[in-house]
A = this chain, B = another copy of it.
Amino acid sequence: MGILGGTGPAGRGLAVRLAAGGVKVTLGSRDAERARTVAEETRAKWPGLELELLGEDNAGAAEADVVVVATPWEGAVATLLPLREQLREKVVISMANALVREGREMLALIPPRGSVAGAVQATLPDSLVSAAFHHLPAGEMENLDSGLEADVLVCSDHAAATSATESLIEAMSGLRAINAGSLNQASAIEAFTAVFITLNMRHKVHSTLRIAGI
């Protein structure tokens, strides 16, 4: 799979945990050289693991069958526009959250289409867009020894995208996939990330979401 804008903390955490789960990962970036460096540094951090993790430009990462959009939310649509044809009929996973910091809190914004994932699906009408990976603490994701255990909500209008996303999640240690319905749910799922980051700032913790009873 490929990760667009994958050199930031969110993308790196996803990349290392997927690669550790046996998935071949191409980290994408506007700057291919930077992607290669980050991929190499990540592999070097875990010398005992055979991580299949390479760096490319975003177009290179978009060659994969399943592609995650891990850019900052403001950059998601601009990153995807030139890749529309390449991403046709592929599963594209949106993980960004439209947030703004105000003092000691994060607040949720409402992007056009109601969610970043909705904007991604509108930009890629012929792709199978899902939303996932919103509430995960990046540092714990990146550290394979952190003992992270978290539930990951997945939503999509395409059953194939939901199941492909669930498969990726189940390949990653410590994560459980939960099908949360249609892409309409992305608005509330993304916004709730503001609550998590606010909890983490306020209580000085790295909290995670658990859904009890499922």
Contacts and interface: CB of A to CB of B under 8 A. Distances in A.
A203 interface: yes
A199 B214 contact: yes
A52 interface: no
B213 A153 contact: no
Contact of A212 (B189, B193, B208): B208
Interface stretch (A26-34, A56-64, A76-84, A104-112): A104-112
Interface residues on A, range: 35 or more
A146 B15 CA distance: 41
A191 B187 contact: yes
A107 B199 CA distance: 24
A180 interface: yes
A117 interface: no
Contacts of A153: 195
A212 to B, nearest CB: 5
B207 A105 contact: no
- Majority-rule SS of A interface residues: mixed
Task: Tell me which of A149, A193, A198, A208 has the highest count of chain B C-beta atoms within 10 A of its own C-beta.
Answer: A198
Interface in A158-207: 178-182, 184-185, 187-189, 191-195, 198-199, 202-203, 205-207
Nearest to A192: B192
A105 B208 contact: no
B214 A182 contact: no
B181 A212 contact: no
A198 B211 contact: no
10 residue pairs, one from A and one from B, having the closest CB atoms = A188-B191, A210-B210, A207-B213, A192-B192, A181-B198, A208-B212, A108-B188, A205-B213, A207-B211, A105-B181
Interface of A: 102, 104-105, 107-108, 110, 149-150, 153, 178-182, 184-185, 187-189, 191-195, 198-199, 202-203, 205-214
